[in-house]
Structure 1
Amino acid sequence: MRTNKQVYRSGPAATKFAQAVKVGDALYVSGQVGMDESGHIPADLAAQMQLAYVNLEQVLAQFDASMAHIVDEVFFVTDMQDFMSDAAAIYAARQAVYGAEPAVCHSLLGVSALALPALKIEIKCVACVAHESESHRAKASR
């Protein structure tokens, strides 16, 4: 039995992995980090989180989805003590990104390292997208 997948690839690692894969109504988004298009990584964890969400929103948009479609979210952080010392501000900033108290499952995992030494947080999520994305189909066929 074949699984019908819609795959979105972008960025310098596009040949190695997908940014997102949609199967049915489920959209699986690869971990997004706080690095801009020029490769700049802010030193501050909260600033990295904000930029990771910007990148996440760009991936979701490829499937006509938004933060409101997210049902599960995982934070991978390299320094749990750093994260917890500023957790109230970080979660307040997260709430601002969602526009309300997020109605999502959420996990926080401490890891020894991420892909680049300067990275402090990576955000991975699953979204429920009940509509088929016309824009993604058009982009995927190019």
Structure 2
Amino acid sequence: MTYPRLIAALLLSACAGLAGAADAQFYNQGNPPGRPFSQAVRAGDFVFVSGQLGTDDKGLVPGGFEAQSRKAMDNIATILRGVGLGMDNVVKCTVMIADMGKWADFNKVYITYFKPDRLPARSALGANGLALGGEIEVECMAYAPLK
């Protein structure tokens, strides 16, 4: 199965049983102007967090790859807190890295955000031309059963 088909199958599986998009909840608090997407979307028992760059309200954070990596993960944690969740809810991450030679450097930052026995499933891929000239982008899926 190709990667795009795998992602499509995963999304369809996660959203199975929903009556439709009208049942989804869209979270846009604090989304910077000019970024036409929701920061997170709840669909059933899953919350999908949009890809996060190492940015703050001024743009890419200074300090290079490690600083951008940490800020991207901080952004994910902030969005999750905004919808009442935490990093323990994360079950899957996709990491896009402009320079795959920095994969090990990212791992050093990444593991500090999760308990050793609660590491999410993850994919990492090299990406040419991330938004805003970023060096790293991370998107996550969190599991949070509806009550």
Same fold by TM-score greater than 0.5: yes
Which residue does the alignment assign to 1:115? Answer: 131
Assess if the C-alpha contact under 8 Å between 2:44 and 2:146 holds in 1. no
Q: Pick the aligned partner of 1:51 from 62, 66, 71.
A: 71
User: TM-score if structure 1 supplies the norm length?
Assistant: 0.79
* Structure 2 unpaired stretches of 5+: 1-18
Q: Following the alignment from structure 2 to structure 1, what is the Cα–Cα distance between the partners of residues 53 and 26?
A: 19
One-letter code aligned to 1:94: Y
Q: CA deviation at 1:91?
A: 1.6
Runs of 4+ more than 6 Å apart? none
- Alignment of structure 1 residues 1-142 onto 2, 5 Å: 1-3=19-21, 4-9=23-28, 10-13=30-33, 16-81=36-101, 83-84=102-103, 87=104, 89-100=105-116, 102-117=118-133, 119-131=134-146
Q: CA deviation at 1:42?
A: 2.4
Partner of 1:139: none
Size of the aligned set, in residue pairs, is: 127
Q: CA deviation at 1:15?
A: 6.5
* SS of match in other structure, 1:31: strand
Q: Residue type of the partner of 2:142?
A: A
Provide the C-alpha distance between the structure 2 equivalents of 1:120 and 1:15, rounded to a whole number of angstroms: 18
Aligned-pair Cα RMSD in Å: 1.9
TM-score with structure 2 length normalisation? 0.77
Unmatched segments (≥5 aa) in structure 1: 133-142
Q: Which structure's residues are more often helix, by fraction?
A: 2
Q: Which has the higher contact order (CA 8 A, sep 6+)?
A: 1
Q: Once the 2 structures are TM-superposed, how far is the Cα of residue 100 of structure 1 from its aligned partner?
A: 2.7
